[in-house]
Amino acid sequence: AQTVTQSQPEMSVQEAETVTLSCTYDTSESDYYLFWYKQPPSRQMILVIRQEAYKQQNATENRFSVNFQKAAKSFSLKISDSQLGDAAMYFCAYRSVIQGAQKLVFGQGTRLTINP
C-alpha cells in the first residue's frame, strides 16, 4: 500500500518570504498523481497544485511550485512571496491510476503560519 509522509508538523515563515514544505511517498507504481491541498480554518479542502508522475517538468501555479524528484519519491511544495492568506494546513496526497485503487492517500499535514 502507498504511504505519504510529511515530516514537518508545523512551519512558519515571514510574510513575503519563501517557504518549502516537504513530502515523501512510497509506491511501487510507475505512474500516479501527486497533489497538494490547502485546508484553511474553514476546513474546506482546496486544491493547490498537482503533478503527473510521467511529466518531468515541475508543476507551477502562480506563487506555488513543486520540486518533484521521482527517483527519490519526494514532492515538496514551495510557496513564494508568502501572504497572510496562505496560513493553513497543507496536505500532500498520492493517487494511483490503477482501476479500483484511485483513492487519495494523504500525509499527516503541515500547519503553516505566516508571521506579519
Partner 1 sequence: DAGVIQSPRHEVTEMGQEVTLRCKPISGHNSLFWYRQTMMRGLELLIYFNNNVPIDDSGMPEDRFSAKMPNASFSTLKIQPSEPRDSAVYFCASSMTGVIGNTIYFGEGSWLTVV
Q: Where do contacts with partner 1 occur on this chain (CB under 8 A)?
A: 33, 35, 37, 42-47, 50, 52, 91, 95, 97, 99-106, 108-109
User: Nearest Cα to 13, choosing from 68, 90, 69?
Assistant: 90
Between 30 and 116, name the residue whose CB sits nearer to partner 1.
30
In the complex, what is the shortest distance from the CB of residue 72 to partner 1, in angstroms, rounded to a whole number? 22
Smaller CB separation from partner 1, 32 or 82: 32
Report the nearest approach of partner 1 to the CB of residue 15 (Å).
27
Q: What dihedral angle (degrees, nearest 10) is formed by the CA atoms of 24, 25, 29, 33?
A: -80
What minimum distance in Å lies between the beta carbon of 50 and partner 1? 6
Surface-to-core class of residue 65, CB atoms within 10 Å of its CB (0-12 exposed, 13-18 middle, 19+ buried): middle
Strand partners, 34: 51, 94
Q: C-beta of 1: minimal distance to partner 1 in Å?
A: 10
Closest to partner 1 by CB, 43 vs 116, is 43
Among residues 25 and 35, whose Cβ is nearest to partner 1? 35
